[in-house]
Structure 1
Amino acid sequence: MMARRLLNEAASGRPFAAAYKNRYINKEKMHNPITLIVKDRRGNTLDLFDLIPAAAPRHIDAVPGAYYQFCDDTTGIAPPNLHAARYGDALHVSFGGTTALVIEQYFSRGQGALIGVQENGGMQRYPLHLAAEVADAPAPEPEPPPQYSTHMSAVAPLHEDDTLRTLGLW
């Protein structure tokens, strides 16, 4: 009965907030839940994490040589609005401006790739936005321009490089 009331309120177009099964729902701030699948170079699943962008960020330790696959639980494909940025040795991953994941020691433990499945079934690799944190550090090379875009934000093309080849994705 409570679920039906929440669905009716959501369909009405009016902002609402309610608690249902110990989950706080706020229509204006609600984001789709995201599943993070951590895999090794052979494609074996090492760990699964549920990410809720509206909740506090989840902190995980980096896994050397692993890659991180993101899946929007609602659509079944990669989230189109993922943004990854370096903060010290950690990588902060956000969806729609809200940080949902912090991968601790990402840059000191052998960076892995951030990937997701496209609508056509192919894999996409998310670009990392790296700020030069030390004045004498060389500036990062600019990312290539996107080849296509989704309804939310531009998605970088899949690159043929050693990382994807090593991970068995290319």
Structure 2
Amino acid sequence: MTLKAFYWKYSVWAAILNTLSIVVFLFNRQYENTWLLYLGNFLFCAVVLMGVFKGYHRVHDTASLRSSTMMGIKITIYGILLAILLCVVALVINSMFTGLNDRGEPAQSGRGDVLFIILANTIAVNAILGALTAVIGATAVKKNQKTEAGKTLY
């Protein structure tokens, strides 16, 4: 498997798990259920972390700190792009059946700003947590913490 296919493999899984939490949130849209979106962010980060660990072991534990970090950043970027695409598809399908803004219900009932909540969560929270996970995962997996020398992957 090439390195780019490796990135896409983990990015697809991260995007799918994040989108599954969005779909579950769309079934019962209340502000009390926002934790479902954060659960999706957690699963996204777990896949990025697993990708960094597997990528580091893929080169027999000799990747440099910079390469491992960039691997996690690339998985995060590709995963966010795919998650945005899947999120928009889920929102379009949902709006066909229920509508994003139901005029019959007030905004406090959880229907007014669902588009902003979901897209901000998908883009901003995944970007910040994914980058943080990439950095922490790259430093945690490196065996020799004294130097950052190793194989360059990108």
TM-score tier, shorter chain, comes to under 0.3
Structure with the higher helix share, 1 or 2: 2
Structure with the higher strand share, 1 or 2: 1
Q: TM-score scaled by structure 2? A: 0.28
